[in-house]
Amino acid sequence: MGEDRRIDHHGAARHELEAFLTLAEELHFGRAGMRLHVSTARISQAIRSLELRVGARLFARTSRRVALSPDGQQLLNNLRRGRDQPGCQPPDG
């Protein structure tokens, strides 16, 4: 993803964005699931659905490691930038 493209999250379901933000902080499916009080399978489904919606892999996953992909980092930056704009409210936690 050498080109500079904007990852569009509009139309994403709230639970997908919450799962994304939590997994981006934790970088661990189990801890993200615990924080959101859902199963790791539910986190995985939400991330997979969001990846299909935005058309990009958001995380690099192995059996031992989870890391943000470049597109995932861009989405995280976009969400943070949007949150910091006046009049924007962060998701209820």
pLDDT tens, residue by residue, 47-70: 999 999 999 999 999 888 999 999
* H or E stretch covering 61: strand 59-61
pLDDT of 2 reads: 42
What's the burial of 1, exposed, middle or buried (CB within 10 Å: 0-12/13-18/19+)?
A: exposed
Say how far apart CA 68 and CA 52 lie, in whole Å. Answer: 16
Full set of structural domains in the chain with CATH:
14-84 (1.10.10.10)
- Whole-number percent of the chain with pLDDT over 70: 78
Within 10 Å of residue 13's Cβ, how many Cβ atoms?
12
- Round to whole Å and give the CA distance between 10 and 80: 14
Average pLDDT of the segment spanning 22-45: 97
